[in-house]
Amino acid sequence: MSLNVELKSVARHYGRVKAVDGVSFSAAPGEVIALVGHNGAGKTTLIKLMLGLARPTAGSVAVLGQDPAAGDAAVRRRLGYLPETVSFNPALTGRETLRFYVRLKGGRKGEENALLERIGLAHAADRRIGTYSKGMRQRLGLVQAMIGTPAVLLLDEPTTGLDPELRQQFYAIVREMQAAGATVLLSSHALNELEGNASRVVILNEGRKIADGTLDELRHIAQLPTRIRLKTAEGGAGRLRAWMGEPAGLRQINGHIVELDATPEDKAAFLRRAAGEGAPFEDLDMVPPGLDELYAHFLSGRTSR
């Protein structure tokens, strides 16, 4: 299988500072990979290495089969990039700015008009960017990254300044590009919104990769408990507690809801029992550990991969 991105034991040092230290991972066409880590973990440095804006101190970086630092124009045209901080000339209109980038990247004539419509900025296309809100500037930055239908999209905190509706619109676009075979790498602190939108998660800490896998794979490695919440009629929490045998860690939320944390083994046993007759609950929710909990777990150093 061909790979759009391949990093092998990549390091980038600035004097004694190891911004990236021995990171390896690859990305195939159609993958959406979340790069997760605190400030200074190495996310932005990795993106600069993949863009060819920095050269590795050690190891190798290949994007679309080429060294991105070599400056191959054909490869650069197939890359899309949204920086964390978007900055445009405030005296230019949105249409003028986007037209400039379309020409710079060798895009189709008039492509800027379709892109502005797609991202919901057609109504403000002829306004100066100096009048744009932060969210509008962020959308303009996103749409310039999409010029030419890139094969690799590198997005650094892409949903900053976007309201919930626009975030959903953004991820719908990401899914469209994923379906067309693009590789998308997202660097983000918004862990909750990455769930369901990223096919893989790479967790970084102090320049090193400490975990890499799908959410299910990371859950299997971490072995964190699943939260089970049971609901019954008002005032029935006591019957639920008695039926469950008052296990350690049982929490009563109110008069009709109780919850507990169950290990993978306990969860299976509980489900078998709950399927029997006479279980005194009306509804059951099972909440597996989310990305924020997994991130905290791997960051603690208890498990590494």
d(Cα 152, Cα 180) in Å, to the nearest integer?
Answer: 11
Q: What is the DSSP string of 203-219?
A: EEETTEEEEEE-HHHHH
Residue of 199, 201, 160, 162 whose CA lies nearest to 179: 199
| Angle between helices 134-145 and 94-105 in degrees, nearest 10 | 20
Report whether pLDDT(80) > 50. Answer: yes
At residue 215, the pLDDT reads: 93
Burial 276-294 (b: 16+ CB within 10 A, else e): eeeebbeeeeeebbbbebb
Q: What is the pTM of this model?
A: 0.86
User: At 242, is the pLDDT very low, low, confident or very high (cuts 50, 70, 90)?
Assistant: confident
| pLDDT, tens only, 212-225 | 999 999 999 998 99
User: At 233, is the pLDDT very low, low, confident or very high (cuts 50, 70, 90)?
Assistant: confident
Residue of 100, 105, 79, 77 whose CA lies nearest to 88: 100
> Residue written as tokens 């045998």?
245
Bigger pLDDT: 72 vs 22: 22
At residue 248, the pLDDT reads: 78
**Token pair recorded at residue 15:** 């004097």
| pLDDT, tens only, 285-305 | 888 999 999 999 999 874 444
At residue 305, the pLDDT reads: 41
User: At 1, is the pLDDT very low, low, confident or very high (cuts 50, 70, 90)?
Assistant: low
Report whether pLDDT(59) > 90. Answer: yes
Q: Are the C-beta atoms of residues 204 and 210 closer than 8 Å to each other?
A: yes
Domains and CATH numbers, the chain: 5-220 (3.40.50.300), 225-288 (3.30.70)
Q: Can you tell me the mean pLDDT for 82-87?
A: 88
